[in-house]
Structure 1
């Protein structure tokens, strides 16, 4: 495999990945608030720039990745292997990161690793690519990082998502953490975030 067969990653790998990491921390510290996340110029379709930026920032040889059906293509697999060398796994519970290119067909959240009592940080982090982070049904979020409540209206999530998220939050400190991305921004949903509506 040679570099000329794979689209480039970050223009400045060290600086850009550090910047992306800081933005991801900001998104997790302010749940429901979109944070701009520039990504590589030409990630393989259907991977958007922010989703690619998260994968390039968080994945490495010690971080198994699971890909949904939309992203499980040869160009995406080759791109991730070349730039991160992260193992790609078929078992959702074995994944440290799950990349979901079609959030509308998201596998049940309970099928991903929730962590262990002694090691809750060993849970799966889900990265969901949605058509837009606005224009969907409005929900109110509360919890750490939110002064009172925060309104959030992502489009493209399955109908069962928020009910499943309530179950996930009820398992705290176990449970998964989620990043939602569109073509520009990222929103963090740490497992400590609760949904008040709908």
Structure 2
């Protein structure tokens, strides 16, 4: 694939990536609250705009990434290499960022690096693309950044996800952080967020 065939990234790389970064911080500081996240006009399928925006904003040559089988296509790999130069790894536990285009391919939260006691910030951050951030089974979230509780009902998560998240939160300050996306917005799930399934 020639460089001129690779889809464009942000139209204004500096401004757009800074805007995306601020939106990601807002999503993490207000867990469970959807935050609008415009993406590049032409992301390679099956990568949606918000997922592409997060990858372009967070990934660089010092930030190794892992792609699930749904995203591990030549077009997506070349797009990410061209625009971020991030190393693409086969081992999810060695990645700083994991991009998941199909929740059915999610290997389990324990398959990623939870950080370690001296450096809990070295855990893997997961970006999980879903069909929608609404319309699924409702859960209640509590914890830092949430005044009392808030509800979230993302569509397309595997049945084991919320019990696994409960275990992940119990490991705090270790554990993974997650961004959930659809085609318009992003929701932050920092590892400090507790989940109750009604």
Give the 5 Å matches for 1:2-151.
2-151=2-151
**Alignment partners' CA distance in 1, 2:34 and 2:92:** 27
TM-score (norm: length of structure 2): 0.99
Summarize deviations over 1:135-183 as a string: whole Å, max 9, x none: 0000000000000001000000000000000000000000000000000
**Alignment partners' CA distance in 2, 1:14 and 1:41:** 16
**Alignment partners' CA distance in 1, 2:104 and 2:157:** 5
Task: Tell me which residue corresponds to 1:182.
Answer: 182
Q: How many corresponding residue pairs?
A: 198
Contact 1:27 1:33 in 2 (8 A): yes
Task: Tell me how far 1:2 sits from its aligned partner.
Answer: 4.4
Contact 1:61 1:84 in 2 (8 A): yes
Which consecutive aligned stretches of 4+ in structure 1 deviate over 2 angstroms post-superposition? none
SS in structure 1 at match of 2:77: helix
Unmatched tracts of structure 2, length 5 or more = none
**Alignment partners' CA distance in 2, 1:72 and 1:3:** 19
The RMSD of aligned alpha carbons is 0.8
**Alignment partners' CA distance in 1, 2:103 and 2:49:** 16
TM-score (norm: length of structure 1): 0.99
